[in-house]
Structure 1
Amino acid sequence: MDIRQQYRSLLEQLVALPSVSAIESNLPETATIIAGAFRQLGAQVIYDDTYFAPFIVAKFVSQNPNAKTVVIYNHYDVQPAEPLNLWQSNPWILTEHDGKLYGRGVDDDKGNLTARLAAVAEYLSENNQSLPINITFIIEGSEETASRYLTEYLNKYQDQLQADLVIWESGGKNENDVIEIFGGNKGIVTFDLSVTTAANDLHSSLAAVVDSAPMRLSRAIATLFDSQGNIAVPHFYDDVVAPNDREKTLVQALPLTRESLIAQHGLTAPLYSDKNGHDLKETLYFKPTINIEGIISGYNGTGVKTVLPATATAKLESRLVPNMSPDLTLQRISDHFKAAGLSDIVITKTLGQPGYRSDMSDPEILRVIDIAANYYHVSPVVIPTSPGTGPMAIVHQTLQAPIASLGVGYANTKDHAPNENIRLADYNQHIDVIKALIKSYES
């Protein structure tokens, strides 16, 4: 069995384990297999199961005492596979079809991990088991649930972790099939809102004089925005770090347009940028958000129930840009509700992590950009930050090194959705790119 087939078999093993951190399923079993693969390849492995999701540090040490260090960050937890009926194949069986591999986690993030392991294994095999750099993998199991305990793990091993460059978990090609390189992501704070207006649900005839829980909750949520879609919470934007000129230029070069965004998602609601006149791209990549994930109240069954609900709850999130604090953001929302006469709205924080952006002119970031350009024979699309979220800020706080994200995905990978998939060609290309990155440190 050749090396790439060996690590594809490892990918098959990993996909077969439903390592869903949201329900804390199969996490130790998955981490144990990964740690074993690192040991088999000759890495120095730390396996720490202090918390519910074991943490792995795997070090490949160069014989060069002056070698630089590249850290590769990945995670082994995945999103739930539901709704299962929308999958064309079993999500927990790695399936090949039309040059693609299907399965939950095949892109996010098990396929990226096994491709990088294959790259290290091939380089070692072709170079007398010698590396020009130190390579350290850090692997966590709670990325999909806001990286719980990652800070504690990193603090515990901080004296053993240093880096000149961090390669992030994933990435891929855009709708034009051009590789993208990200240098950051937004942070997030998720929270529940709840309100109770009576000891129990009431007869709806009392709506003439009694304010209901869903009305108060809806009123509270509505105060978060002005008529143009701007966030109306006082001081919400105070700590936002504005993009610099290079970051603005990079984002303006992206192929995204208003029309392509509407067509891609079949949007029927107006865009906020149409209402407030703000730049679409700068808003998407550099501004914070507030979003309603779901609202629950009252009767939602078949037919009619004339009831005035006594309780209402909602799940919300705020995507944060660098320098915004999850806790301070919630405090400002709480102060806003109190000022609006809505102090009975209870806010409960569920998850939170800050945002981060790399300096895209850092020499190590430029190294990654040049390698990608040389390999793919096209200039990569360089994006200072993703509109999505991940624990970049947490990792950067420990390592203090620039972060670049690229990976095995493509525009129709369907992360977090049914029929998550990657193309075999992209998977093999990523192996080649990681090998080229390693080779670039030869001197």
Structure 2
Amino acid sequence: MSIRTQYLTLLHDLVALPSVSAKHESLPETAKLIADALRGLGAEVLYDDTYFAPFIIGKLTSNVPQAPTVIIYNHYDVQPAEPLDLWDSDPWQLTEKDGKLYGRGVDDDKGNLTARLTAVAEYLSEHNNQLPINITFIIEGSEETSSQHLDDYLAKYQQHLSGDLVIWESGGKNANEEVEIFGGNKGIVTFDVSATTAGHDLHSSLAAVVDSAAWRLTQALATLYDENGHITVAGFYDDVTPPNSREIQLVSALPLTHDALVAQHEITAPLITDKTGDDLKSILYFSPTLNIEGIESGYVGEGVKTVLPAKASAKLEARLVPGMDPEKTLLQIKQHFQNRGFSDILVTKTLGQPGYRSDMSDPQILRVIDVTAHYYKAQPVVIPTSPGTGPMYYIHEALGAPIASLGIGYANTNDHAPNENIRLDDYNQHIDVIKALIRSYEK
């Protein structure tokens, strides 16, 4: 059995474990399988299950004196697979079709992990089990739920962690088939908002004199934005770290266009930047957001029920850019409701983490860019930050090393959605790129 086949078998076994951190499912089983795979590589493995999602460190040591260290960060938890009826195959069964692999977590993030394990295994096999660098795998199990306790684990094992470069969990190719390399991501704070206007649901005839909770909540939420699409929370933008000139240049050069974004996602509503007149790319990558994830209230079943809801709730999130603190941002939102006359609105934090951006001129980041460009015979698209969220801040605080994100995905990977998939060609190319990165350190 070839090394690549061996690790595809591991990927099959990992996908079969429904390691959904939001449900605390199959996390220890998945973590132990990965720990065993690292031991099979010859790594010194540290396994800690103090918290609900076990934490793994796998260290492979070079025989080269004072060799640099590359950290490889991944996570083994996944998003829920629902709605199951929208999948064309079993989400917990790795399925190959037309050169693609389907399954929950096949890209985000189990496939990226197994590709990197494969790269290290092949390099060791081809070089008499010797590495020109130290390689440390850091693998957590709560990334999809805001990396709960990752900072605790990192603080606990600070003395075991040092590095010169971090290869982040994932990445891929854009709709133009260009390889993208990210150097940062936004932070986040998520919170629940609720309104209660009576001890129980009322007859809707009382709507003449009583505000329903649904109205009360939606009126409060409507104050978060003005009519021009700007967030109205006092101080919300005060701590935003503005992009530097290189970051502005890199984002300005991205191929993203208004029409392409609308077409890709079949967007039918006007874009916020259509109202504000702001630059789409600059806002997408460098500005914070405030979003309603969902609202629940009253009766939404079949037919009619003439009821005045007594309770209403919503889930919200704010995507944060570097400089913004999750706790401070949440306090500003709470104060906003107070100032607008909605002191009865209850705000409860659920998750939070800060954002981070790498220096894209760092020599180690430039090394990743050069290796990638040489392998693909084309310059990658270099992006200072992702619009999405991840725990880069915690990793950088612990290691102080620059972070580069690249991986096996492509424009139609469907992360977090039904029919998540990767292309085998992309998977194999990423294995080759990681091997080429290791070779770049050879003296």
**Same-fold call, TM > 0.5?**
yes
Question: Cα RMSD over matched residues?
Answer: 0.6
- Matched to 2:198, the amino acid is A
2:313 pairs with 1:313: yes
User: What code does the residue aligned with 2:412 have?
Assistant: N
Deviations 1:259-283 (A, max 9, x none): 1111111111111111111100000
Work out whether 1:217 is the aligned partner of 2:205. Answer: no
Distance 2:186 2:106 in 1: 23
Q: Secondary structure at the match of 2:379?
A: coil
SS at match of 1:240: coil
Structure 1 SS opposite 2:172: coil
Distance (whole Å) between structure 2 residues aligned to residue 146 and residue 284 of structure 1: 20
For 2:22 and 2:251, the matched residues in 1 are separated by 33
Shift of residue 65, structure 1, vs aligned partner: 2.0
After superposition, the C-alpha distances for 1:150-174 in whole angstroms (9 at most, x for unaligned) are 0110000001100100000000000
What's the counterpart of residue 60 of structure 1? 60
Deviation larger for 263-272 or 310-319: 263-272
Matches within 5 A, 1:184-263: 184-263=184-263
Q: Distance between the aligned counterparts of 2:194 and 2:208, measured in 1?
A: 23
Count of aligned pairs: 443
Q: Distance in 2 between matches of 1:90 and 1:298?
A: 34
Partner of 2:28: 28
Q: Which residue of the partner structure matches residue 99 of structure 2?
A: 99
2:12 aligns to what?
A: 12
In the alignment, the residues of structure 1 paired with residue 40 and residue 271 of structure 2 have an alpha-carbon distance, to the nearest angstrom, of 52
CA distance in 2, matches of 1:129, 1:334: 56
Q: Please name the residue that 2:42 is paired with.
A: 42
CA distance in 1, matches of 2:263, 2:95: 30
Cα distance in 1 between the residues matched to 2:24 and 2:199 = 35
1:323 maps to amino acid: G
The match for 2:144 is 144
1:291 aligns with 2:253: no
2-structure distance, mates of 1:164, 1:61: 14
Mapping for residues 126-165 of structure 1, pairs under 5 Å? 126-165=126-165
Q: Does 1:422 align with 2:422?
A: yes
Q: CA deviation at 1:175?
A: 0.4
After superposition, the C-alpha distances for 1:108-145 in whole angstroms (9 at most, x for unaligned) are 00000000001001111111110000000000000001
Partner of 1:410: 410
Gaps of 5+ in 2: none
Q: CA deviation at 1:309?
A: 1.0
Partner of 1:339: 339
Aligned partner of 1:265 in structure 2 is 265
Q: Work out the CA distance in 1 between the residues paired with 2:432 and 2:301.
A: 54
SS at match of 2:59: strand
Alpha-carbon distance in structure 2 between the residues aligned to 1:339 and 1:149: 34
* SS of corresponding position for 2:422: strand
DSSP-derived class of the 2:207 partner: helix
Q: Which residue of 2 aligns with 1:366?
A: 366
Give the TM-score normalised by the residue count of structure 1.
0.99
Sequence identity (%): 72
Aligned-residue offset at 1:301: 1.1
Q: Who is 1:401 aligned against?
A: 401
State the secondary structure of the residue aligned to 1:295: strand
What SS does structure 2 have at the residue aligned with 1:58?
strand
Give the C-alpha shift of residue 62 in structure 1: 0.4
Of 282-291 and 81-90, more deviation after overlay is shown by 81-90
Question: 1:266, 1:432 → 2: CA distance?
Answer: 35
Q: What is the distance in 2 between the residues matched to 1:258 and 1:211? A: 40
Distance of 1:93 and 1:239 partners within structure 2: 45
Counterpart code for 1:315:
K
> How far apart in 2 are the matches of 1:215 and 1:42?
61
Report how far residue 256 of structure 1 moved: 0.7
What is the deviation of 1:421? Answer: 0.6
* Structure 1: distance between partners of 2:6 and 2:414: 25
SS of the residue corresponding to residue 313 of structure 1 reads strand
Shift of 1:350: 0.4
Q: Distance in 1 between matches of 2:156 and 2:142?
A: 17
Letter in 2 for 1:379: Q
CA–CA distance in structure 2, aligned partners of residues 251 and 424 of structure 1: 29
Q: What is the CA–CA distance in structure 2 between the aligned matches of 1:180 and 1:272, rounded to whole Å?
A: 25
The structural deviation recorded for 1:48 is: 0.5
Instruction: Map Cα deviations across residues 32-81 of structure 1 (whole Å, 9 max, x no partner).
Output: 11000110110000011111111000000001121000000000001111
SS at match of 1:221: helix
Aligned counterparts of 1:75 and 1:266: Cα–Cα separation in 2: 30
Partner amino acid, structure 2, of 1:362: D
AA in 1 matched with 2:401: A
The superposition leaves residues 80-124 of structure 1 with CA deviations (integer Å, 9 ceiling, x where unpaired) of 111111111111111111111111111000000000001001111
Give the Å deviation of 1:305: 1.3
Unaligned runs of 5+ in 1: none
The one-letter code matched in structure 2 to 1:302 is E
Whole-angstrom CA distance in 1 between matches of 2:20 and 2:207:
43
* Counterpart for residue 351 of structure 2: 351
Q: Give distance in 2, aligned partners of 1:17 and 1:233.
A: 42
Q: What SS class does the counterpart of residue 227 from structure 1 fall into?
A: coil
Q: Distance in 2 between matches of 1:412 and 1:307?
A: 43
Report the secondary structure of 2:116's partner residue: helix
Matched letter for residue 156 of structure 1: K
Aligned AA (1:16): A
TM-score by length of 2: 0.99
